[in-house]
Each structure stands twice: as structure tokens, then as C-alpha cells.
Amino acid sequence: MLKARKYVVKKHFQGVPKREDYEIVEYDLLPIKNGEILVKSEWISVDPYLQVHNPFHQVPYDQFSFQVGTVLESKNPKFPVGTKVVSHKGWCDYGIIDKFDDPFERVYKLPDLRGLPEELAVGTLGMTGVTAYCGFLELCVPKPGETVIVTGAAGAVGSIVGQIAKIKGCKVIGFAGSDEKVQWLESELGFDKAINYKTADISLALKEAAPSGVDCYFDNVGGEISSTIISQMNRFGRVAVCGSISAYNEDPTRLPKATIMQPSIIFNELKIEGFTVLRWSNPDRWPQAIADLAEWIRSGKIRAKSHITKGFDKLFDAFIGVLKGENSGKAVVKV
Amino acid sequence: MLKARKYVVKKHFQGVPKREDYEIVEYDLLPIKNGEILVKSEWISVDPYLQVHNPFHQVPYDQFSFQVGTVLESKNPKFPVGTKVVSHKGWCDYGIIDKFDDPFERVYKLPDLRGLPEELAVGTLGMTGVTAYCGFLELCVPKPGETVIVTGAAGAVGSIVGQIAKIKGCKVIGFAGSDEKVQWLESELGFDKAINYKTADISLALKEAAPSGVDCYFDNVGGEISSTIISQMNRFGRVAVCGSISAYNEDPTRLPKATIMQPSIIFNELKIEGFTVLRWSNPDRWPQAIADLAEWIRSGKIRAKSHITKGFDKLFDAFIGVLKGENSGKAVVKV
């Protein structure tokens, strides 16, 4: 009987997740039943949303996340042995997949990546990329020549949003949390300007970088930096709210305060829309987005950087690294 | 030569407007030129937006606002002598209208009100009503059975929004600033529930009044009450941001802070859209909205209350009354 290991979340996080909030459980895998598949994990994703969703799950629960694996045993004709699958099975080395239809528990065959690295299937060619692609294009509706701001610009989603904005003919300004990231965004990813929010006067730096105002804002951060950016937006500006990483370590019942945005929202007739990638659960949207993104990577228009950590035992450290902003590009663990 | 009087704003307001910020100027009216009309004012509107727009005008300027008047002299064949006109000519007893095409300086013949009071043309059957009608219906897109929240519910716009929401089959909860207003909203206007925000525990009262959550929020107030309401919204909720009266007395360069909204915006995929009535400058929209509103008033589905102050000399006092929330319904001055 095969031994499997998985990370179980035992406690609700208080602020930053702690190692003790997790337990690595080793157990015997049961024989698979009709309809099920047994998957060996190869690439496992670590993302900020794992923290965000924690309060909404009863503990203990198995740590979910996207992953790429290979089917070892199958009683499901759609996924024969040897098939590479992308699933939301999360932090395990082996796992049995028994749910296929849930919008979040999505399971699909690894798309044909035509030689691109497989780990991209949990990054730019997976949930991360679809989030950037659909969120930015459908909610910001960027037009050529417009000015686009991205916060969390060096993160997995933000770095893709900025590059899509360049493809669409926009001027792109990114905020990130270190000079190394700023350098990477400007010199490698083609951002017109990147600003270290930790050392800059944000309002002043933005006025200088975007003298004609901001048309689109892709918000990964929330809080005061968002109030500042929104106060500099042009009439009919659009904001896609994807993340609120500035508040992820806060008690959700006692969130921080930031400068009110309503005067700008009214005067400039702004539209601010929050989203999760779940809204694009139409099965056509993902393949469409992934195909476009793959084409852009192959043609050199998008650089998809993976921040790879090796070892199943390093999943927690990789996750904390993401929450601390230590990654440039998409964080992923090689099992 | 005809003597005319007008209110001139001499200084930018610091907080609440002061009597000394205004000067009543008496002057000789020049003969009208080709294309112009001379109008005698009859009803003049006082609204919070007069304060909001102050910082964006160079002083001195003539105090604008909507008004109803009668054409005394005309060199414009579209507006012959005796025509009743609605214009944005503002706080004057007589005035010469020389601009007809500016989206905000709109001038149009008084619609056929079929016996309804003429002052409604600067209220429910004018800019106020169009603001409520278009803002609520187009941005909140209410569905029957949904729960709608209105702040500033006893104000000119809010009181109409709540009644339109009832017509559309929604459950309507209003926030207002006195027990008299609460009583009026519930017993006269048919709100399902009204809450005195000055004395209630807002979060708790809202949870009790809207146990299944909030679908639409028409925001006249902004700030902390908006953060509280938005935190209780359902997935895909819609917010129309019309006013930010909580901040109108604040220094616009040092706005107050309120609890951040991004976590709710993301998790519940909310859409928050600010607007001014100017976006509906399509000439068809106003008559359409006004015709629907007039029909609803005639059929008793909407009660349009006017808060009338008499006397040209009382315009400033009437304006301050609105900013203090002393009115229930639309504040208007009979010249």
C-alpha cells in the first residue's frame, strides 16, 4: 500500500501563518474507486490566496492549491494512466482525486505547452495567468495609449498584467517592494517605470511618472497606496481589485483604515470592481486565455519567470516567502 | 434698465460655507443679444453639489444651480417670451442665458407636468430625479427581491431612489439622521426599514434588517458607514456612489480615513461605480426619466416632497439647511 504525505492546516492563522499551524500527515492511500484517479504530484503552487481563504475553511483541512501531477492509477476513462493533470489537490506528494466538477476543484489535462516548462501550468499558463488576463482585460478594458498602474507588480499576477498592458499599447507603471524588483520590471519586463513603494513618496512619484493621470489600476495591495493611486485617476478610470495583500496579516474583523476614496470615485466617475478567477468558470475562457498567453511567451512578448523551490518539505517556507514578497515572478515548489 | 441681483461666491469655502463667502450683487442688466433670452427666476434649487464643486471653480463666480423661470425677453426663436424654462442659471432673480449647449449648462423648456407643481422641475422631475433614476437603475441594476440600502435616504435623491427600488420589487432599507426622518421614510414613503445612523449600532442594525445580506447600495454619504454596509454585501453586489456628504466639510487634500473595503470588494466580487448625472447627457435620457417619474408621482407610487423656503434673500440659509440635513425631501427656494 502506497504511503502518501499531505499538509493539513490544523489551526486558523493569526496574522502570518506559522509552521505550527500545519502538520505533515503520512497515511496509507486507499485503493481508488470508480471514477477516481491517483496522482503523483510534480509541481505545487504557493499563492497569497491560500492565506486569504483560511478563515473560510473549517479546520482541520487539507491545504489546497493548484498542482501538476501524473496519473499513476486510473478508474476514470477521461484521465488514463500517464496523463499529466492540473488540479487543485494542493500540498501532497500523492493524492486521490474524486471531485471533477466543482468550479474551484477544477481538474483538467495539462494543456499542450509546446515545449514550455510544465511548472507554468500552475503559473502564467494556469490560474495565475488566467487571473491576470481575464481580470485586467475584462475589468480594466485597457485602450492603447492609456496609463496603467499595477501594484504588487513583481508578483506572479502583477508581472503578467504589466506585460499584457504593454502588448495592448499602454504606458505601464509598476509598484514593487525592492530596488531589485524595480530593476527587473524596468530592464527585463519592459515596464515604462517601476517605483519602490517602500522608499518613494508614492503620490509625488506617481504624479511624475503619470503626469496625465491614471486610466487603469490593477490592484493587488489595497489600503493607503490604493487610495493614493485612485486619487490620481482620470474620468471614467477602471480599477480591477485582485488582491489586498496589505491586509492579509490583519484581523479580518478589525481591518485597518485608509483615506476614503468616494470623492474621487464620484468626481471622476470611476468604476472599481473586485473579482476572483472563479467568475470565469466558463470552460472556454481558460483554454482561450492560456493559448494567448502561451503564444505571447513563445513570441517573447511575455517573460514568465518561475521562482522555484525544491522539495516537498519546503512548501511552508516557499509559502512564507511569497507572503513576505521574497519572490519575483511565480513561486512554485518542485516535489 | 432692469436691475438684477445674483449671489457671487467670493471665496473658496473652508469647511461649511459661510455667509461672508457670498456677496449679493445688484447690477444693471444689459440688453440681450441675438440668441439670448432674459429669464425671471421662480424656483431655485439648493443642493450639496454646490459645495462639492466649489474648489474646482475660480473665484469669484456666479452661484450656479438649477432653476425654473419665465422668459421675459427673447432673441432666440426656440424660447419665445412667456416660455417656462429650466436652466442652470442659479442664484439670481433675473438672468440672461447665453449658453445653451454645454452639458452642464443645460437649458430646456419646462416639461409638461400635467398639473404637478412646477418646483418639481428642479427636483424629482429634474436633475435630482434623473440622478436617482439613472444612477440607481443603470448602476445598481436592481432585481425583484433584492435588498437595497440607501444612505442619505431622506434627502432629495435618496428618498426617490428608495421609492424606485420599491417599485422594482426590492426590499429597501434607508439610513437617515433623525427619528422624524426615519418615521417619514417608513410610514409615508414605504421603506421596509429606516435606521437613525446617529443613534443605532449601524453594523448590528443592518444585520438585523438585512439578514440575507445587501445586494445594492446607493451611497450618498461615503466614509465609515459605507465601509460597514459594503462589508455586508452579497456576491456580485453593486454600489452606485452618488455623494460623499460625510466628507464635504473636510479639506479635500486631507480627507478622513475609513475601514478599507478591498477585502470585501474582492471576496464578494463587488462593483463600485461613481457617477455624476452629466454622463447621461444623451438628450433622450432626461425626458425618458422625467416621464417615468411623473407617471409614478401621478399614480401615487412616488411621493415627491418639496422642502420650500420663501424669498430670494433666504437662498444661503436654505443651502446651509441642506448641508446640515434639515430637509426631508427636495430643498427649493421660491423667489
For residue B210, the domain's CATH number is 3.40.50.720
Q: pLDDT digit string (tens) for A111-137?
A: 988 899 999 999 999 999 999 999 999
Which residues in A138-270 belong to E strands, given as ranges? Answer: 147-150, 171-176, 193-196, 214-219, 233-241, 257-259
Q: Same domain, yes or no, for A63 and A119?
A: yes
Q: Rounded mean pLDDT of A156-176?
A: 97
* A262: nearest CB among B219, B271, B276: B219
Would an 8 Å CB–CB cutoff place B251 in contact with chain A? no
Low pLDDT (below 70) residues in chain B:
103-104, 282-283
Contacts of A255 in chain B (CB under 8 A): 259-260, 263
Which residues in chain B belong to E strands, given as ranges? Answer: 3-9, 22-28, 37-45, 61-62, 67-74, 84-87, 94-97, 108-109, 147-150, 171-176, 193-196, 214-219, 233-241, 257-259, 271-274, 306-310, 330-334
Residue-by-residue DSSP string for B4-63: EEEEEE-S---SS--GGGEEEEEEEPPPP-TT-EEEEEEEEE--THHHHTGGGSPSSEE-
Under an 8 A CB cutoff, do B266 and A276 touch?
yes
Q: Same domain, yes or no, for A31 and A50?
A: yes
Under an 8 A CB cutoff, do A241 and B262 touch?
yes
Q: Same domain, yes or no, for B168 and B226?
A: yes
pLDDT at position A103, please?
Answer: 67
Name which residue leads in pLDDT, A100 or A211.
A211
Name which residue leads in pLDDT, A280 or B213.
B213
* A266: nearest CB among B242, B256, B264: B242
Q: Same domain, yes or no, for A65 and A162?
A: no
Q: Same domain, yes or no, for B145 and B182?
A: yes
Under an 8 A CB cutoff, do B241 and A262 touch?
yes
In a domain, A230, yes or no: yes
Contacts of B247 in chain A (CB under 8 A): 260, 262-263
- Calculate what percentage of chain A has a pLDDT beyond 70: 99
CA distance A127 to chain B (A): 16
In a domain, B283, yes or no: no
Q: Same domain, yes or no, for A37 and A91?
A: yes
pLDDT at position A328, please?
Answer: 78
Among A29-38, A47-56, A181-190, B280-289, the range scoring the smallest mean pLDDT is: B280-289
Would an 8 Å CB–CB cutoff place A270 in contact with chain B? yes
Q: Same domain, yes or no, for B168 and B266?
A: yes
Q: C-alpha angle with apex B300: B294 to B303, nearest 5 degrees?
A: 75
- Which domain-ending residue is among B240, B262, B278? B278
Tally of domains in chain A = 2
> Predicted ipTM?
0.93
Mutation choice for A interface testing from B250, B266, B267, B270 by most A CBs within 10 A: B266
- Which domain-ending residue is among A278, A296, A325? A278
- Which domain-ending residue is among B261, B278, B295? B278
Q: Same domain, yes or no, for B189 and B71?
A: no
CATH of the domain at A21: 3.90.180.10
In a domain, A35, yes or no: yes
pLDDT at position A141, please?
Answer: 98
Name which residue leads in pLDDT, A132 or A55.
A132
Mutation choice for B interface testing from A51, A260, A265, A277 by most B CBs within 10 A: A260
Under an 8 A CB cutoff, do A262 and B244 touch?
yes
Mean pLDDT of all residues in chain A?
A: 94
Listed by number, the residues of chain B in 176-235 with a beta carbon closer than 8 Å to a beta carbon of chain A are 219, 222-223, 226
In a domain, B113, yes or no: yes
Contacts of B257 in chain A (CB under 8 A): 257-260
Under an 8 A CB cutoff, do B222 and A260 touch?
yes
Q: Same domain, yes or no, for A117 and A143?
A: no
* B260: nearest CB among A256, A264, A267: A256
Among A95-109, A201-215, B147-161, the range scoring the smallest mean pLDDT is: A95-109
Query: Can you give the residue range of the structural domain that contains B226?
Result: 127-278
Contacts of B222 in chain A (CB under 8 A): 260, 262-263
Q: Is the pLDDT of residue A203 over 90?
A: yes
Q: Same domain, yes or no, for B144 and B242?
A: yes
Q: Is the pLDDT of residue A282 over 80?
A: no
In a domain, A206, yes or no: yes
Q: pLDDT digit string (tens) for B227-265?
A: 999 999 999 999 999 999 888 878 878 899 999 999 999
Amino acid code (one letter) for A134 = C
CA distance B57 to chain A (A): 14
Q: Same domain, yes or no, for A253 and A140?
A: yes
In a domain, A299, yes or no: no
pLDDT at position B283, please?
Answer: 66
In a domain, B310, yes or no: yes
Q: Same domain, yes or no, for B142 and B265?
A: yes
CA distance A107 to chain B (A): 23
Q: In what order do the strands lie in the sheet with B61-62?
A: B22-28, B3-9, B61-62
Would an 8 Å CB–CB cutoff place A259 in contact with chain B? yes
Contacts of B276 in chain A (CB under 8 A): 266-267, 269
Under an 8 A CB cutoff, do B272 and A273 touch?
yes
**Cα separations in angstroms, A124 against A66, A130, A132, A304, B119:** 12, 7, 8, 6, 60
Under an 8 A CB cutoff, do A259 and B255 touch?
yes
Residue of A nearest to B254 (CA): A259
Q: pLDDT digit string (tens) for A232-255?
A: 999 999 999 999 988 887 887 889
- The alpha-helical segments, DSSP class H, found in A64-155 are 127-134
In a domain, B97, yes or no: yes
pLDDT at position A104, please?
Answer: 67
